[in-house]
Amino acid sequence: MINILFPHKRYSFINESILENLPKDAIQLINENSITLKLKKGQILFHEGTVPVGLYIIKSGKVKKYTTGLAGKEHIFYLAKDNEILGHHSLLSKEPHCCSSACLSDCEINLVPKEIFYIILSLDQSILNRFSKSLAHEFGVFINNSKILAQHSVRERCAISIIKLKDFFNATDRGFKISRKDHSNIVGTSVESLVRVLHDFKEEKIIKIEENSIFVLKPKKLVEISNMV
């Protein structure tokens, strides 16, 4: 329902998998050279400003990408999950990481050393095109989210975030759970302000909250509040 009503692809965290239908020699290089990392919720993959060591492939779990501002305040601008990749921006630009990344849940991640990544890129022009398309999608999401932060109220931004998170967690008939701190850092507000808006939505019977999970009851109303259509 929400996907029909809301122009979500321009704002959605969900990206097409680069790994599908890769050439066999690229898959072989990944399988033979990747290092499996088993990380707990909250563990850091990489810090903003550090030198990239390789390409991260999420096998299972969910990860946030964020920048850190004044007083350590995070701005979460992208979420990634199974079969998505991280770290390719800095590998392609050959610059330090422009953001940090941490696990939103327990994760299993394959780390492909950067030397192998560059070999994979050299195999086929179509592989580079895939990475370029992924970069373009994330950049588009970042730009559109920046516009939301600048032009929409906290109530509108909260509605938009719930739409996006429901989509990201694939919460069709079930709720989704994310910490209030992370949720507020996606919305771009304080935890207290987020909690107030969520309480209002609950009182208006737009959502229900059970054991910190959010269930969407009235998707059309969320879209109306978002002021996006």
User: Among 28-32, 33-37, 97-101, 121-125, whose mean pLDDT is lowest?
Assistant: 121-125
Q: Indicate whether 109 belongs to any domain.
A: yes
For residue 108, give every residue at least 6 positions away whose Cβ sits within 8 Å of its Cβ, in sequence order, or none: 36, 37, 38, 39, 58, 59, 60, 61
Together in a domain, 24 and 120: yes
The CATH number of residue 43's host domain is 2.60.120.10
CA distance 184 to 188: 6
Mean pLDDT of the chain: 89
Q: Are residues 119 and 43 in the same domain?
A: yes
Torsion of CA 82, 87, 91, 92, to 10 degrees: 70
The answer to the question of residue 138 being in a domain is no
Domain contains 135: no
As for how many domains the chain has, the answer is: 2
Residue 174 sits in a domain of what CATH number? 1.10.10.10
Q: Are residues 26 and 120 located together in one domain of the fold?
A: yes
pTM: 0.87
pLDDT at 229 over 70: no
pLDDT tens readout for residues 190-226: 999 999 999 999 999 999 999 999 999 999 999 999 9
Give the residue numbers spanning the domain of 191: 152-226
Structure tokens given for 38: 């088993």
